[in-house]
């Protein structure tokens, strides 16, 4: 997109205060946070001991602690999980979740715009693009208000084409960060943390069994059109290769005037296929790697247990 624009999404914010905050978050998420400095904005995954995804977040480090901005995942469940592992001796005060808004910025940012966050990951607007966080009760600044806002359909298309995972389709108890193209959200060199052993083994063996892919289907392709298309391509629909082998399943669907598109988890043997078949009517889907997907480690990392 050549012209500047914006789109907003609801997020949750959990504030942590106290001298042990960075150490605590370092051990409970996939990013190296303990040595971060005030003002840093780090992208991290909240995962189970078996490296299954519970949430995606930005960690905003400040002098007295950090703000955990939950981009995806159930805020109440994540807050409860963090509270459960806090020890009385930990110098951490965990505040309840509160609503917030994340504004993604497309194109050039107007001079003097701010204050902005600069996560080192692609959140759907392109690599290196800043974002704006609005806390509860805060209004858009005048410079952002002047930017055109994407329609919901356009915003969802950007999410799908960049491969930004969402719950429950992509982010659930069956997926890990490497399968979803989130390698930059994971530190393989920091010390022990929840899920670290599993991720280290996946990185050292290249053992990811599936990967996220974008798919598209045009209405002029074979098969039913209109509402029937959405029904035939619903989440959970199995995928097959043209040779009839199992290839994965659809995780997200968006119907458009041109057809439909979405995300799918594709099994490793089928990752080289440019076209896969979906549903009982063998609907042909064009398959490509999402723009923001980062390939998982290919067996070059060594576990740091």
pLDDT at 229: 57
pLDDT at 280: 82
What is the CATH number assigned to the segment(s) 5-150?
3.30.1360.120
pLDDT at 299: 59
Q: What is the DSSP letter of 146?
A: T
pLDDT at 2: 54
Question: Can you tell me which residue has the tokens 């067996």?
Answer: 299
Q: Which helix (H) or strand (E) holds 254?
A: strand 246-256
pLDDT at 302: 46
Q: What is the mean pLDDT for each group of 10 consecutive residues in the chain (305 residues)?
A: 84 98 94 95 93 94 97 96 94 97 92 88 90 95 94 95 94 92 91 84 84 92 57 90 96 92 97 94 94 83 42
pLDDT at 300: 46
Contact 170, 236 (CB under 8 A): no
Q: Is the peptide bond before 99 cis (omega within 30 degrees of 0)?
A: no
pLDDT at 230: 57
User: pTM of the predicted model, to two decimals?
Assistant: 0.90
Query: Which pair of tokens denotes residue 13?
Result: 């914010």
Hey, which residues does 5 pair with through a beta bridge?
Answer: 106
pLDDT at 55: 95
3-state helix, strand, coil split of the chain in percent (to 5) is: 20, 35, 50
pLDDT at 301: 43
Distance CA 21, CA 14 (A): 12
């Amino acid at each position: 997109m050549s012209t500047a624009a914006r789109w907003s999404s609801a997020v949750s914010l959990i504030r942590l205060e106290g001298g042990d905050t960075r150490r605590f978050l370092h051990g409970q998420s996939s990013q190296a946070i303990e040595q971060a400095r005030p003002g840093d904005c780090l992208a991290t995954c909240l995962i189970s001991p078996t490296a299954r995804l519970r949430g995606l977040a930005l960690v905003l480090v400040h002098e007295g602690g950090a703000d955990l901005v939950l981009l995806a995942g159930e805020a109440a469940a994540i807050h409860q999980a963090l509270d459960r592992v806090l020890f009385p001796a930990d110098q951490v005060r965990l505040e309840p979740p509160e609503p917030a808004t994340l504004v993604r910025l497309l194109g050039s940012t107007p001079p003097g715009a701010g204050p902005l966050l600069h996560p080192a990951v692609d959140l759907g607007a392109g690599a290196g693009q800043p974002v704006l966080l609005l806390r509860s009760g805060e209004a858009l600044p005048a410079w952002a208000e002047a930017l055109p806002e994407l329609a919901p359909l356009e915003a969802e298309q950007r999410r799908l084409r960049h491969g930004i995972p969402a719950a429950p389709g992509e982010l659930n108890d069956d997926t890990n960060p490497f399968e979803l193209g989130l390698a930059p959200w994971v530190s393989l060199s920091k010390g022990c943390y929840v899920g670290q052993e599993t991720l280290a083994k996946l990185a050292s063996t290249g053992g990811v069994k599936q990967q996220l892919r974008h798919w598209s289907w045009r209405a002029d392709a074979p098969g039913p059109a209109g509402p029937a298309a959405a029904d035939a391509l619903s989440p959970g629909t199995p995928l097959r290769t043209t040779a009839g082998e199992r290839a994965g399943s659809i995780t997200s669907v968006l119907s458009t005037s041109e057809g439909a598109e979405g995300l799918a988890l594709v099994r490793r043997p089928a990752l080289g296929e440019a076209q896969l078949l979906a549903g009982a009517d063998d609907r042909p889907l064009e398959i490509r790697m999402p723009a923001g997907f980062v390939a998982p480690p290919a067996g070059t990392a060594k576990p740091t247990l």
